[in-house]
Amino acid sequence: MERVEKTRRQILDTVCDIRLTHEQKVTNLERLSESLIEVIDLPPDYLVFKDAGVICDLNESNCPPRPRYIVPDYELLFQKGCEFLELPPPGDLDEALNVLSIFIRHVPSVTNFPVFIGFLDRLLDPFVKNTGRGGAKKKIGLFLRYVDRTITDSFCHADLGPAETEAGRIILECEKEEPRSVPNISLLYDADLTPEPFALLAAETALASAKPSFANHKMFVSELGPGYALASCYNGLLVGGGSFTLTRLRLGHLAAMASGLAEFWPLLEKAAAAMMACMDARISFMAGKSGFFTSNFLVKEGFIRKEKFTAMFGIVGLAECVNDLMKKEGKTGRFGQDPAMPSEADRLGIAVMEKIDALVKARHNPHCGATGGHFLLHGQVGIETDVGESPATRIPIGEEPEELSDHLTHCGLFHGYFPAGSGDVFTVETSARNNPAYLLDMVKGGFAKGGRYFSIYSGDSDVIRVTGYLVKRSQMDKLALGENVLHDTTALGLGSARNGRILERRRR
């Protein structure tokens, strides 16, 4: 009863909150209404670990009406159209952009906005070739502006590459000339497939608009096959599928429960088992009882298939976990601080990841057919309320190695554990605008060391990368003054600036 009364108060507070737009109020009210119903059985250990802050469900309810992340097959849309939305296959660029504009507004996710809007360069390039370049650029620029103004959530993602296309160059030029926080964009980069001039244009664009980020295409293909996409922040998922759920284990909080390593290892096993039991229950409801996979047009028309879905086991706070355990064991080393990597602290971090990797691979879920019946590890980017806990396996802000090469080497120690995505963010001095080749060399070097995903932005850019998504500084300033802002993720960025020190990253 106390929980119900608390939710009712939150509903009233949401309705009366003058800082929220109408659309933001509706989204928040839906989440609150879902939280009033519990239809899945939670193991007793789960509630213990959740109350201790160790397990975080990232605002997923216990009555989920749809999967958290959905990655439609947009190429199929362009081949056959969509019967439910009465859309024929597009015949020219105007029709292609119109079909996309309509379709993406009907792709759900945990935020009610699409987390993936396609490989835009591959989709649009055949139509660009039949349109004058100037006209094509204007049309695509207006489409990107439409996305930014109507998909008011920065977890919306588009992909480019690895090949160069005229449409890809136009998209990069449009983002460079009119920086915006939506959509997030990744360049699937492979030095053998991505021409140097195209990659350099991507680096120039990133300095102006904090996107695209660079994804290690060879690494993702080796793990997920060629039919993958990057969605939301940097989540590696299969096209035509997605992820049922993403729940995260807060390793810093888990270490705080233990007196030392001897207590930590069994706690880790119990917490991971409890979290995966909850994931199993949530998936079972979505796959069998929610009705989504029997009624939604995306399923009926083949744009997504249940057998191409997986689920994501997220972790945050490896750095704080290691540092706490090292201190409790009477040792002075700290995560990511020794250039002679891997240091003792880093080796402990690797041991923690090896244990988690083994636990996750040992678990079987019959609905995760896309990944052999197993969950995928995901380096979760953190949320706005996290205090003193770093995203994924990142080195805490303020403790980054002085040498960039050491930082990249450290990334390579851990990125390989996360087929469902992990990445690091680098802020560079404004002088880098004169030398985009420096950024590309940094990406190449980082990938050679085992890095998976790198995001780069200039220290004077209005659009900045928070953890895995983008916001505008100018919009955060408005929100801090109590004004309405268009994108709901601006509030997440402001919280991360205050609690996660994202504006204090070491400049390279």
Check: CB of residue 143 under 8 Å from CB of residue 109: no
Identity of residue 126: P
Q: 176 and 313 share a domain?
A: no
Say which DSSP state 165 is in: -
Check: CB of residue 160 under 8 Å from CB of residue 120: yes
Predicted confidence (pLDDT) per residue in 131-160, tens digit:
989 999 999 999 999 999 999 888 999 999
Domain count within the chain: 3
Q: 396 and 247 share a domain?
A: yes
Q: 314 and 203 share a domain?
A: no
C-alpha count within 13 angstroms, C-beta hemisphere, residue 451: 27
Q: 325 and 239 share a domain?
A: yes
Say which DSSP state 119 is in: B
Q: What is the C-alpha separation between 334 and 320, in angstroms, rounded?
A: 9
Q: 246 and 386 share a domain?
A: yes
**Band of pLDDT at residue 494, cut at 50, 70 and 90:** confident
Q: Given CA atoms 20, 21, 24, 30 in this order, what sign does their dihedral have?
A: positive
- Most confident segment among 213-222, 282-291, 337-346: 213-222
Check: CB of residue 454 under 8 Å from CB of residue 214: yes
254-268, 278-292, 455-469, range with the lowest pLDDT: 455-469
Check: CB of residue 168 under 8 Å from CB of residue 161: yes
> What's the pLDDT score for residue 59?
81
The closest alpha carbon to 67, from 317, 307, 381, belongs to: 307
Q: What is the C-alpha separation between 53 and 40, in angstroms, rounded?
A: 20
As given in the structure block, the two tokens for residue 29 are 């009210």
Q: Is the pLDDT of residue 418 over 70?
A: yes
Check: CB of residue 266 under 8 Å from CB of residue 274: no
Is residue 329 one of the residues assigned to a domain? yes
93-97, 164-168, 482-486, 497-501, range with the lowest pLDDT: 497-501
Predicted confidence (pLDDT) per residue in 368-384, tens digit:
999 999 999 999 998 87
Q: What is the C-alpha separation between 6 and 9, in angstroms, rounded?
A: 5
Identity of residue 395: I
Average model confidence (pLDDT) for the chain?
91
Q: 324 and 263 share a domain?
A: yes
The closest alpha carbon to 194, from 170, 211, 169, 220, belongs to: 169
Is residue 276 one of the residues assigned to a domain? yes
Is residue 306 one of the residues assigned to a domain? yes
Identity of residue 25: K
Is residue 328 one of the residues assigned to a domain? yes
Is residue 457 one of the residues assigned to a domain? yes
Is residue 410 one of the residues assigned to a domain? no
Q: 252 and 364 share a domain?
A: yes
Q: What is the C-alpha separation between 476 and 498, in angstroms, rounded?
A: 11
Check: CB of residue 176 under 8 Å from CB of residue 433: no
pLDDT over 70 percentage in the chain: 96
pLDDT over 90 percentage in the chain: 70
Residue 408 sits at φ, ψ, to 5 deg, of -65, -40
Write down the pTM of the prediction: 0.92
Torsion angle of alpha carbons 484, 485, 488, 491, nearest 10°? -80
Domain that holds residue 281: 42-66+235-402
C-alpha count within 13 angstroms, C-beta hemisphere, residue 245: 31
Is residue 370 one of the residues assigned to a domain? yes
Q: 381 and 440 share a domain?
A: no
The per-residue DSSP string of 196-259 comes to HHHHHHHHHHHHHHS--EEEEHHHHHHHH-SSEEEETTTEEEETTEEEEEEEEEEHHHHHHT-S
Q: 447 and 371 share a domain?
A: no
The per-residue DSSP string of 83-110 comes to TTTTBPPP-SHHHHHHHHHHHHTT---T
Say which DSSP state 153 is in: S
Mean pLDDT, to the nearest integer, of 45-50?
92
Torsion angle of alpha carbons 292, 293, 294, 299, nearest 10°? 110
Q: 259 and 174 share a domain?
A: no
Q: 216 and 257 share a domain?
A: no
Q: Which residues of 117-148 are buried (b: 16+ CB within 10 A; e: fewer)?
A: bbbbbbbbbebbeebeeeebbebbbebbeebb
Predicted confidence (pLDDT) per residue in 294-303, tens digit:
999 999 999 9
Q: What is the C-alpha separation between 349 and 213, in angstroms, rounded?
A: 26
Q: 443 and 351 share a domain?
A: no
CA distances (Å), origin 123, targets 39, 77, 303, 447: 40, 10, 15, 27
Identity of residue 197: P
Is residue 343 one of the residues assigned to a domain? yes
